[in-house]
Amino acid sequence: MTFDIIQPEAIAPALGAEIAGVDMGQDLDDATTAEIRRALLQYGVIFFRDQDITPDQHLAFAKRFGDLVDYPMVDGLDGFPGIVPVIKLEGETHNFGGIWHSDTTYLAEPPMGAILVARDLPPEGGDTLFANMAMAFDALSGAMKDMLGGLIAVNSSAKGAVAKSREDRQKDMDNVPEPLVAEHPVVRCHPETGEKVLYVNIGHTIAIRGMADEESGPLLDFLFRHQRAEEFTCRFQWRPGSVAFWDNRSTQHYPLNDYHGHKRLMHRITLAGDVPV
């Protein structure tokens, strides 16, 4: 796939590319927007450097790629409810979403993607890992693919580790949402690329419909281990002005929690998705 306007440079064999030639503070034309979207589909997650953008510019960029949706578990910024602060403070030990996951798969329509802007970073650490779930599915045996094809996963917002990671952010909320549950295929078809994607995640998937825990537990444990195999991943080191835009339908991510005693603040906008099939 060739590009005429932007300059993607892959950062790992599995997924991920840094994009040059884009100023997110300016209005994007349709041709540039189309190339960025093609890069997102090709690389799964794309990164931009040295983007000194305001919340208004963050919103304007995101709206070029779809409708915005609220994150159901944490309040947005004052004046910018569509932007969620992803923050860990100096005295906290849990980082927000600090486990491998796809965003909010406990919703009937999980997001298409998200756009994360670095605002305040620790002096070292705080990298984010991403993993390619189309590649993870392709690497399975034929017999495993056949078995998974008809299965439905149960996903919950209340699964222990990821729910605990939100506690610091929810303590000042007036109304903490009740647990949310949704069922989706274990293997989904990407609506734009047609790829088959392994669509369970350790952060939210709690069971397989119609199976006893003794049956689904070992299977899910195997899939969770398989998904985070090093050959499916890339690692992104944040710098001031860095931006990540990931395809939530085909990737997972894991923000590392290796910077205790330091603040890390990111701003996230979430893009509306569809019903996985």
Q: Among 51, 44, 35, 48, which Cα is nearest to 16's?
A: 44
CA distance 277 to 274: 9
Q: Which residues contact 30 (CB under 8 A, 6 or more apart)?
A: none
Phi-psi region of 125 (alpha: psi -120 to 50; beta: other; left: phi over 0): left
Residues 262/123, Cβ–Cβ less than 8 Å: yes
94 is catalytic: no
Q: Which residue blocks in 30-148 are alpha helix, DSSP H?
A: 30-43, 55-63, 133-138, 142-148
Q: Which of 37, 58, 103, 204 is catalytic?
A: 103
Give the type of residue at 149. Answer: G
Q: 257 and 147 in contact (C-beta within 8 Å)?
A: no
Point out the catalytic residue in the list 169, 249, 264, 268: 268
Indicate if 188 belongs to the active site.
Answer: no
CB 270, CB 68: distance < 8 Å: yes
CA atoms in the 13 A half-sphere facing the CB of 3: 19
* DSSP three-state, residue 128: strand
CA angle 243, 248, 253 (to 5 degrees): 65
CA atoms within 13 A on the CB side of 261: 2
Catalytic entry in 58, 101, 184, 249:
101
Is-catalytic flag, 103? yes
Does the active-site annotation cover 226? no
**Active-site option among 58, 249, 253, 267:** 253
Any idea which residue has 């609506």 for tokens? 191
Residues with active-site annotation: 101, 103, 253, 268
